[in-house]
Amino acid sequence: MEEFIKIENVYFSYDESEEGKSFALSGIDLTINRGEFVAVVGHNGCGKSTLAKHLNSLYIPTTGDIFVDGINTKDDDRLFEIRKKVGLVLQNPDNQIVAGIVEEDVAFGCENLGIPSKEIRKRVDNALKAVDMYEYRTHSPDKLSGGQKQRIAIAGIIAMEPECIVLDEPTAMLDPQGREEVMTTITRLNKELGITIVLITHYMEEAVTADRVVMMDGGKVLLSGKPKEVFSKVELLRKHRLNVPQATELIYRLKGCGYDLPGGILNEEECVQALLECMKKRGERSVGIKG
């Protein structure tokens, strides 16, 4: 897989004094590959949001370097190039929408990039269709639901044709329906349009859909691997104030009692299947004993 973002030994402190700094990021080494869907999880205050804002040069590392498609984020002259490649969607849907009409807000980024008028029109239409909000293009954003607003924010980024979208807890302020809408959209963008996705979240149900899960605490990366691998480490996650899906926890506890069950169970279907198999095996064994 091709490297897209390379984070090398990054330390970051909000404190600008020389002495006694406390670091929000303490030695992060991480690579994001092109086309990947990476979920970054951690409790509030672990540094994941700070990391997200480094990926498009909103913050610059105190020490260490970050390269976006080969460009160092410290390079002031190439700031717009970086922000064109890496879009950032934030938590509050309302506070990202600039214009009073949906299609005008989606056009905002393109207008800033100096793209010709007709081209902007095309991009805006395509972006709105990609997030399934095309029919709302002349509506006013304030009548839309949270999930719809967040999709508009995403469309505004897509119109700039980024290679990667970073989303910092995009569903934290949404209701379950809104969360589903946004997650469906993000997954579709990754699978169908090949856009690299970095999703910052504390919802485990969202992280299970990623290609890779990165777990952070105290400004450090503690775990990185496929969802099945990461979520099987139930105790470690608990220690770092995170939950696992109920299905995962159930299997974990049963395994702890000695039952033969596979690891890495993430959803209901897998869980039920594993349990049925286990029950069948035990039933067969007992038949064997009787017979």
Segment 252 to 291, residues that bind other proteins, using CB under 8 A: 253-254, 257, 259, 268-269, 271-272, 275-276, 278-279, 282-283, 285-286
CB closer to other proteins, 1 vs 98: 98
Smallest Cα–Cα separation from 250: which of 259, 240, 241, 242? 259
First to last CA, the chain: 54
Question: Nearer to other proteins by C-beta: 71 or 113?
Answer: 113
What SS3 state is found at 156? helix
Cα angle for residues 223, 237, 48 (degrees, 5° grid)? 60
101-140: burial string, b at 16+ Cβ within 10 Å, e else: ebbbbbbbbbeeeebeeeebeebbeebbebbebbebbebe
Site for other proteins in 68-97 (CB under 8 A): 80, 83-84, 87-88, 90, 92, 94-97
Q: Does 63 bind other proteins (CB under 8 A)?
A: no
Q: How far is the CB of 206 from other proteins (least distance, A)?
A: 12
Sheet holding 220-225, edge to edge: 86-89, 164-168, 196-201, 37-41, 212-217, 220-225
Q: Smallest distance from the beta carbon of 241 to other proteins, in angstroms?
A: 4
Q: Is 204 exposed, middle or buried (0-12, 13-18, 19+ CB in 10 A)?
A: buried
Minimum CB–partner distance for residue 217 and other proteins (Å): 12
- Residue span 130-159 as binding mask against other proteins, x where in contact by CB under 8 A, dash where not: ----------xxx--x-------x--xx--
CB of 15 to other proteins, least distance (A): 16
Q: How far is the CB of 2 from other proteins (least distance, A)?
A: 24
Q: Taking CB under 8 A as the rule, does residue 113 contact other proteins?
A: yes
Give 31-56 as a DSSP string.
EEETT-EEEEE--TTSSHHHHHHHTT
- Selected from 101, 129, 163, 236, the binder of other proteins by CB under 8 A is 101
Closest approach, Cβ 7 to other proteins, in A, equals 19
| Neighbour count for residue 270 (Cβ, 10 Å) | 16
Q: Name which of 62 and 145 has its Cβ closer to other proteins.
A: 145
Please compute Rg for the chain using Cα positions: 22
User: What part of residues 33-52 is at the interface with other proteins (CB under 8 A)?
Assistant: 43-44
- Measured from the CB atom, the residue of 27 and 172 that comes closer to other proteins is 172
Read off the tokens for 281: 């095996």
Select 29 or 175, whichever has its Cβ closest to other proteins: 175
9 is a site residue for other proteins (CB under 8 A): no
Give the nearer residue to other proteins in terms of CB position, either 185 or 248: 248
Residues 161-220 that bind other proteins (CB under 8 A): 172-173, 175-178, 202, 204
Bridge partners of 8? Answer: 65
- Closer residue to other proteins (CB): 61 or 156: 156
CB 140 within 8 A of CB 98: no
> Which residues within the stretch 230-259 sit at the binding site for other proteins (CB under 8 A)?
241-243, 245-247, 249-250, 253-254, 257, 259
**Helix locations, the chain, DSSP H:** 48-54, 79-85, 102-112, 117-130, 146-158, 176-193, 204-207, 227-232, 234-239, 246-256, 268-290
